[in-house]
Amino acid sequence: MSRSRFFVLWLAASLFCLWLYWPGMKCWFQQDDFAWLGLGLNVHTPAGLLDALFAPKAQGTIRPWSERAFFMGFFALFGLDALPYRILVFTTQVANLGLLIAISRRVTGSTLAAALAPLFWTANAALGLPMSWTSAYNQILCATFLLGAFYCLLRWTESGAWRWYAAQWTVFLLGFGALEINVVYPAIAAAYALLASRRHFVLTLPLFAASGAYAILHRSLAPGTREGPYAMHFDGSLLSTLATYWYGAFGTARLASLEVPPWLSAAGLVTPWILSAALGAFLAVRLRRGQWAVLWPLAWFLAVIGPVLPLRDHISDYYNAIPTLGLAVLGAWVFAAAWEMRLAGKAAAVLAAGLYLATSAPVARATVRYNFERSRAVRNLVLGVARAHEIHPGKVILLNGVGTDRFWAGMNDKPFRLLGIGDVWLTPGSESTIQAFPALGDVNQFVYPAAATLRALREHRAVVYEAAGPRLQNVTQTYANMAPLRLKATLPGHIDAGNPAFADQLGEGWYQAEGGYRWMAKRASLRLGVASPGGLRLFLKGFCPTTQLSGGPLHLQVFIDGQAYPPVAVSRPDEEFSFSFALPAVLKNKDFVEVVLEVDRTVVPPADGRKLGLAFGNFALRRP
């Protein structure tokens, strides 16, 4: 393929991508984005930076290029201006399309297939989320590393130049910093060598050693979970999960939930079957002719989807984003082969491709549109709060009517700390209108206590904003008028010890709140509200500076409703600690429990003079 033809195809694919996902360019931040954006806030030392970049995070992920360095670096450069982040995502995807064209041309030998593969992949619904949610950039960047490494392999097999072999290794190894799925690259490379370039097969085997070493390192740093959605199941469910991903790979699974004509919805149901049959027939014919290379795109799909198959209880549409790249190549190959047939073959190819594009692209577009609107609502909430803070500096900001979607997309991951705003809360009672998702967090932790609300309103220390509309509306006076009617000063089931608003719930033995924590003396007490007893546990979190452990581990004993629990040891310096205790089966009081904390010794810092036990952040009663 000539260079000019390559650039024309690349431009066409890029423009199609830009057109289909344009709302994704204008998306703002949501959900995990805020957690990643805030990663650098606590980095003050080189060691802290290394920890922020490489220490395993949620579900044991270590993704410095696609998440940590990306978000930390861009936040330092651009703050909460989302456009540069989105430009990088789109630029990376454009690079992917170029690589895909070059690879498809070499694997299939067809320029037509090289032109269609990026279009088919772009139109796949699985790309909707990665193209509209910045936290899913790992999918896009991982594809770049996999495609880049494989492109180098192809150039090496063609030219025999060792610099391409070395480049393949470099790109492959760097890919581990994008996404763990990179571990499957050796299978992709070996499959190609085995099927299309057998004399290079042996030299793909060392790649497995690198993946093996990474897998061992990853498992040692981030052991897998045995419970919850991320538990792995190696049983018959592997096949059913594979079937789900295969069916979903044609992008039509969510079509029925969109407002589309009934005929299109019905077409979406049969499309996976028709296209599967077409792919199967093509493979059968070519394999009978001994053209084993046609299996390689299928091998790509199976290799990349393989690692998520044991996650039976965590099936996500966007996990298909990289695997479907292989199916796009295969589909384009089938189309190019049919195009060489008579009119009936050409017509069937156009019909099948049209069916796929008409049923998958609308789902991709709807996903992007949904994330665009969702993220803009979050933007109005977060930047609205920033404006409210500017107008009412120093006041507690209470948000009413936030609702389920905006809470989980725009408040749960604490975006306000990125703007240096601390006191932003939900109005009491908001928790009743926000759907609970215990796996994501606890709404109650964000609710300002009723008694503190009444007091803050009385003393003009709080402003209340209604968040149900597109813009925040100041309703302080209206809310203050209604507050005595609507608020019962019940005791919350949680305490943010570092926040003076919760001081009512603390008994003796506490010092003033400082820096988000509150120190206890040798013995301290508190009171937590019980809304509905049964199965509750007390969860507590705190922080232990090195000075407290100069005499060895510190022992903390907890008494709940007078019942003593076995002491627990706090032994890790300069780290957060957390413990949980089951509540007694029978409580003395219906509405609350008394908790007493006692440490076996205190430390008196010379410049301080106070007898300090431990510093506490949160206490909460909840079900595990």
Q: How far is the CB of 617 from another protein (least distance, A)?
A: 28
Give Cα separations from 93 to 17, 37, 84, 140, 201 (angstroms). Answer: 8, 22, 14, 6, 29
Exposed, middle or buried: residue 391 (CB in 10 Å: 0-12, 13-18, 19+)?
A: exposed
Give Cα separations from 75 to 82, 85, 86, 259 (angstroms). Answer: 9, 9, 13, 37
Give whichever of 410 and 542 is closer to another protein, judged by the CB atom.
Answer: 410
Question: Which one of residues 476, 490, 525, 547 is an interface residue with another protein (CB under 8 A)?
Answer: 476
Give Cα separations from 505 to 459, 508, 510, 592, 613 (angstroms). Answer: 19, 10, 11, 10, 19
The helix/strand/coil state of 398 is strand
Stretch of residues binding another protein (CB under 8 A), selected from 255-263, 375-383, 497-505, 517-525: 375-383
Q: Are 374 and 30 in contact (CB under 8 A)?
A: yes
Question: Which one of residues 47, 343, 344, 391 is an interface residue with another protein (CB under 8 A)?
Answer: 391
Q: Does 387 bind another protein (CB under 8 A)?
A: yes
Give whichever of 316 and 433 is closer to another protein, judged by the CB atom.
Answer: 433
Question: Which one of residues 47, 485, 586, 607 is an interface residue with another protein (CB under 8 A)?
Answer: 485
Q: How far is the CB of 472 from another protein (least distance, A)?
A: 4
Tokens (6 digits) for 431: 């928790």
Q: Does 429 bind another protein (CB under 8 A)?
A: yes
Q: Please enumerate in sequence order all residues whose Cβ is within 8 A of that of 99, keeping only pairs 6 or more positions apart, or say none.
A: 144, 147, 148, 151
Q: What are phi and psi of 27, to 5 degrees?
A: -65, 150
Give whichever of 123 and 152 is closer to another protein, judged by the CB atom.
Answer: 152
Q: Does 84 bind another protein (CB under 8 A)?
A: yes
Stretch of residues binding another protein (CB under 8 A), selected from 17-25, 195-203, 357-365, 482-490: 482-490
Q: Does 432 bind another protein (CB under 8 A)?
A: yes
Our CA angle for 505, 507, 509, nearest 5°, is 135
Q: Does 486 bind another protein (CB under 8 A)?
A: yes
Q: Does 77 bind another protein (CB under 8 A)?
A: yes
Q: Does 383 bind another protein (CB under 8 A)?
A: yes
Q: Does 56 bind another protein (CB under 8 A)?
A: no
Question: Which one of residues 216, 468, 531, 604 is an interface residue with another protein (CB under 8 A)?
Answer: 468
Q: How far is the CB of 81 from another protein (least distance, A)?
A: 5
Q: How far apart are CA 573 and CA 467, in angstroms?
A: 41
Q: Does 78 bind another protein (CB under 8 A)?
A: yes
Question: Which one of residues 68, 379, 494, 527 is an interface residue with another protein (CB under 8 A)?
Answer: 379
Question: Which one of residues 79, 535, 552, 573 is an interface residue with another protein (CB under 8 A)?
Answer: 79
Tokens (6 digits) for 551: 């005499």
Per DSSP, what are the bridge partners of residue 425? 398
Give whichever of 27 and 334 is closer to another protein, judged by the CB atom.
Answer: 27
Which x/- pattern over 129-168 shows residues binding another protein (rule: CB under 8 A)?
Answer: -------------------x--xx--x-------xx--x-
Give Cα separations from 137 to 131, 335, 374 (angstroms). Answer: 8, 30, 18
Phi-psi region at 233: left, alpha or beta (left = phi > 0; alpha = psi -120 to 50): beta
Tokens (6 digits) for 188: 């992709």
Stretch of residues binding another protein (CB under 8 A), selected from 39-47, 76-84, 187-195, 489-497: 76-84
DSSP string across 219-271: HHHSPPPSSSTT----STHHHHHHHHHHHHTTS-TTGGGS---HHHHHHHHHH
> CA 171, 121, 63, 23 torsion: positive or negative?
positive
Stretch of residues binding another protein (CB under 8 A), selected from 77-85, 213-221, 291-299, 531-539: 77-85
Give whichever of 407 and 577 is closer to another protein, judged by the CB atom.
Answer: 407
Q: Does 87 bind another protein (CB under 8 A)?
A: yes
Q: How far is the CB of 164 from another protein (least distance, A)?
A: 7
Per DSSP, what are the bridge partners of residue 474? 465
Contact positions vs another protein (CB under 8 A): 77-81, 83-84, 87-88, 91-92, 94-95, 98-99, 102, 148, 151-152, 155, 163-164, 167, 379-380, 383-384, 386-388, 391, 400-401, 403-405, 419, 429, 432-433, 435, 464-466, 468-479, 481-482, 485-486
